[in-house]
Chain A
Amino acid sequence: MKGKRQRPREATRSRTPVILYSVAALFAAAGLADATYLTVIALTGEAAACGGSAGCSEVLGSSYARVAGIPVAAFGLLGYFSAFSLAVFAAFNYARAQKLFILAVCALFVATLWFLYVQAFLLHAYCRYCLFSAAISFLLMGLVVAAPGQPKEKP
């Protein structure tokens, strides 16, 4: 790319992954904000109040909301931060970052499916923050599917 002028069509094609990964980074940042909020309210016990939403309290106060005493939202926070960082690096044409981004999004997506199952079939209650996170991970998965082939590895 450096030093060479691209034809308009080629330039548009090469810009597509950049745009897709930038959008993915924005989605991941939204998921990161949501997971940060959930982690904080889990750590402070604010899950009990949860904005007056009954389903929310039930989900966040349930035994499924923690693994070995650690709020699952904290894992979500790490997951979204990884997805965000990898999306940023992928937008800057780091090929390994793209592969790892796909892995991170797949892990988030699988976790999302599990939490949707827990809410729908085990708790029969939904938490709006968890549903927002689920929507984000579905959007990220959509972008992974829509993303074109890998960019060249940066030297």
Chain B
Amino acid sequence: MRRYLPFIIVAAVALITFGSGLALFRAKRPPLPTPKKDSIAAGAEETQGLHVRGNATAPVTLEEFGDFECPPCGTMAGVLKEAEEKYGARLRVIFHQYPLAIHVHAREAALASEAAHLQGRFWEMHDLLYQEQGVWTKSTDVPSLFNSYANKIGLDVDRFKKDMQAPEAKARVATDQKLAAARGVTSTPTIFINNVLLPPTSLNPTDLHAAIDAALKEKTAP
């Protein structure tokens, strides 16, 4: 028996390693895309060139002109997420690209989100870019990090890399920048609620919720 003991130990550890690795892989693997009702509505509008999240017929539309590298936009992403949870079907959010030239990787990040959009995962990349803003903005190897983000949200990474350079992605960013210029946007984040500009001093949860409440009241008023 002692003669076979090392073989038994090694085989047992190999099995445990394989089994636990497989279990961990299954637990951590990103889920396959299962579009929710809301995102189907949003997807319908995305084909028209907008990044929309939420109920397509919501009484309040919040538009953000954002830059993924801008720290206040990162803070605002959390605030907007809370507002989306609070107002549910009464609020829809539209994101417009406005990468500022002063931010070294902002345009690259905008293109990464557009490349994700080409595979139907714009919002997943949007959320991850803001969530990890403190990491990639300080990185010396931003493309590799973006590739790992693409992998994390279940994109085809090779296609993602190509799409980062795709004319469609660049055109979408350019279109949003033209829209920003037309609407007088000069800084990020700039927020419009039902086409009314939210003053920069109101970019906080309290004032934002008050502005959404006011817009809701206005819509529901007889």
Contacts and interface: CB of A to CB of B under 8 A. Distances in A.
Interface of A: 29, 32-33, 36-37, 39-41, 43-49, 54, 57-58, 60-63, 65, 77, 81, 84-85, 88-89, 91-92, 94, 123-124
Contacts of A65: 144
B contacts with A: majority SS: helix
A62 B141 contact: yes
Interface in B135-165: 135-136, 138-141, 144-145, 147-154
B17 interface: yes
A45 B149 contact: yes
29 contacts: A29-B13, A37-B24, A41-B28, A44-B25, A44-B28, A45-B30, A45-B148, A45-B150, A45-B151, A45-B153, A45-B154, A46-B28, A48-B128, A48-B148, A48-B151, A49-B152, A57-B145, A58-B138, A61-B139, A62-B144, A65-B144, A84-B10, A84-B13, A85-B10, A88-B6, A88-B10, A89-B6, A89-B10, A92-B5
Given A44-B152, A54-B135, A36 B24 contact: yes
Interface residues of B, number: 34
Nearest to A36: B21
A54 B153 CA distance: 19
B149 to A, nearest CB: 5
Contacts of A60: 148
